[in-house]
Amino acid sequence: MYAQFFGLKQEPFSIAPDPRYLFMSERHREALAHLLYGVGGGGGFVLLTGEIGAGKTTVCRAFLEQIPKRCNVAYIFNPKLTVPELLKSVCDEFHIPYPDHGPGLTTVKDYLDPLNAFLLRTHAVGQNNVLIIDEAQNLSADVLEQLRLLTNLETSERKLLQIVLIGQPELRDMLARPELEQLAQRVIARFHLGALTESETAHYIRHRLTVAGLNRPLPFNRAARKRVHELSRGVPRRINLLCDRALLGAYAEGKAQVDTEIVDKAASEVFGKPKLAQVARSRLGLAAVGTAGLVVGALLFAALSGLWGGAGHPASGVAGAKPAALAVSASASSVMAAASAASGAASGAAVAASAAASAPTLAFLSAADLKSSFKTLVHDERDAWRELAPAWKLDLPDPDPCAAAQRQQVQCFKSGSTLALIRQLGRPGIVTLQGENEKPVYAVLVGLTNQTATLRMGGVTQTVSLVSLAQLWRGDFATFWRAPEGYRNVVADGSAGPVVDGLAARLAKLQGDPAPAPNQRFDAAMHARVFAFQLAQGLKPDGIAGPTTFMQLNRATGVDEPRLLTDPVAN
């Protein structure tokens, strides 16, 4: 309904677990990595728990869409089953035929025998088998014991079935019971998916809007994003419900920006007024017990965050620091006064908004200002490479900078890109901008925040808004990366040699596995490991080790490469 009004292709905050909208916070990356571990693990249980609405099912759906070809998966989403019903469901999911003697006559053994034969047969041809059970906190004790017995199906080398249990926090309590100790001892990996932080909530909102096609300033201002986090407690499903209703409310009022008033109204509709009253009471309680100093500290942090939010680089500069400090001091006095008033919660919120508004903002170049400064930009791509070179400690006297870099085991990378991928790679690089008469000009991107980009142009560093950058940037991105010795092209199925050996060794080290034997080949197993690494790193998962995969592998294994300056505070 409101999508067109905000310039979106679709509504961004559906509560359906759509993998396209999966926000890869560090917690979600680790959660997904645990599921991927289940594909190639040696059997036993993998445990993924999280609060209601934390994104467990969405992570699982993303995993299911990226299953390697040589992996069979059974997915059970309704675990309120008896032991025979569970085994029947497992056989049905794996498409295993079994004898049907009629209601009440088919026994557990009638399901176990064909299941065991299937696991042995698929193991012999190099296939893995994974059983995923969602909402596993609903499993009964006898069903959990049967699952433990299923992990007894094994060869002399490994267990034949990996079981992934996904559930709410009480699942951890269930497995801590004495009668389930044997099962608990077979949990080879466990992870609890917690709520998002305030910063992650802001990134989450921006991410979903971007996926939905947003190409204009964020419709949630800073105060509104903070309020969303407070009311949602950082739980993605609650964030979705609240933001969806807030956008609808802004649309109904004809407002292009969602403010805290709209968020509060939306919260009363989707969560009910008791939720809002609870937040107000907790704030009043803080003041009543004499902890106004904590509120003052929070205000100081908020003001400083507003002051530094756009500074991706020291060269950005800050104006009016002294007035900002005075504003914070005044805000502190207001909060102290409000703490002694009966309406302290509401007053404190108003003062906080006032303090945020009084903090000075940074001035960034507009698209027109940037274009007028093109005389400082580099018009020769080779000069741009040379301007980027010092960060890599490279000497590039050769007329061909990339050839000179390659002799120093550093390669040039050029590709059409997005800001999301550049953020993920996290390294400085060259962006191609549209100059006068459509001629390209080049700038070195050295910093990137949520709202700004810091560019180095002919030795001059300047900060521009992302909106301004988008008006002139062609989408081209280039950078250096340290290639493994002997690297010539992408590493894919059938490849062999020192590069493949090195790739196998680094992946094994990351996963805590023993060092592999020499003379490795890029086979199906390595394809799956590369695929899992790419997915966990937020790259396009294709199982092929190209430049971006090696860039992220360098980052994960501590290879010395320069980093893009970023500001973790959402501005």
Q: What pLDDT digit, counting tens, does each position of 385-424 carry? A: 988 999 888 888 778 888 888 888 899 999 888 887 888 8
Q: For the residues 6-34, what does the mean pLDDT come to?
A: 80
What's the Cα-to-Cα distance from 148 to each of 44, 181, 185, rounded to whole Å?
8, 11, 10
Edge-to-edge order in the sheet of strand 187-193: 71-76, 128-133, 162-167, 44-50, 187-193
pLDDT band at 250 (very low <50, low <70, confident <90, very high): very high
279-320 pLDDT, tens per residue?
444 444 433 333 333 333 443 333 333 323 333 333 333 333
Q: What pLDDT does 437 receive?
A: 66
pLDDT tops 90 at residue 334: no
The pLDDT score that the predictor gives to residue 559 is 84
How far apart are alpha carbons 37 and 518 in whole angstroms? 23
β-strands 187-193, 44-50: how paired?
Answer: parallel
> 337-364: per-residue pLDDT in tens?
333 333 333 333 333 333 333 333 334 5
Q: Nearest to residue 327, comparing CAs of 348, 354, 306, 361?
A: 354
pLDDT at 291: 38
Query: Which 3 state secondary structure label does DSSP give 559?
Result: coil
pLDDT at position 234 is: 92
Cβ atoms 351, 338 nearer than 8 A? yes
Res 224 pLDDT > 90: yes
268 falls in which pLDDT band (50, 70, 90)? very high
pLDDT digits (tens, 9 = 90+) for 458-500: 778 888 888 888 888 878 899 999 988 888 777 877 788 899 9
Tokens linked to 348: 């404190």
pLDDT value at residue 313: 33
Looking at residue 491, its pLDDT comes to 83
Question: Could you tell me the two tokens for 269?
Answer: 């509709």
Ranked by mean pLDDT, the top range of 164-168, 353-357, 368-372 is 164-168
Name the residue among 148, 144, 132, 137 with its Cα closest to residue 59: 132
Greatest mean pLDDT among 72-81, 100-109, 347-356: 72-81
Beta strands 440-448; 452-457: pairing state: antiparallel
**% of the chain exceeding 90 in pLDDT:** 23
- What pLDDT, in 10s, does the model give residues 469-479? 888 887 889 99
**pLDDT for the residue 19:** 65
What is the predicted pLDDT for the residue at 486?
A: 82
Most confident of 18-32, 210-224, 501-515: 210-224
Average pLDDT over residues 20-45: 74
Q: Would the pTM count as exceeding 0.95?
A: no
Q: How confident is the model at residue 369 (pLDDT cuts 50, 70, 90)?
A: low
pLDDT at 325: 30
- With beta carbons less than 8 A apart as the criterion, state whether 263 and 228 touch: yes
Q: Which residue has the higher pLDDT, 54 or 289?
A: 54
More confident call, 27 vs 231: 231
Contact between 133 and 139 under an 8 Å Cβ cutoff? The reply is: yes
How far apart (Å, rounded) are the C-alpha atoms in residues 152 and 44?
A: 9
Average model confidence (pLDDT) for the chain? 77
- Residue 345: how many CB atoms within 10 A of its CB? 21
pLDDT at position 17 is 67
Task: Please check the confidence at residue 10 and state whether its pLDDT lies above 70.
Answer: yes
Give the residue-averaged pLDDT of 31-40. 73
The three-state DSSP-derived secondary structure of 315-367 is HHCCCCHHHHHHHHHHHHHHHHHHHCCCCHHHHHHHHHHHHHHHCCCCCCECH
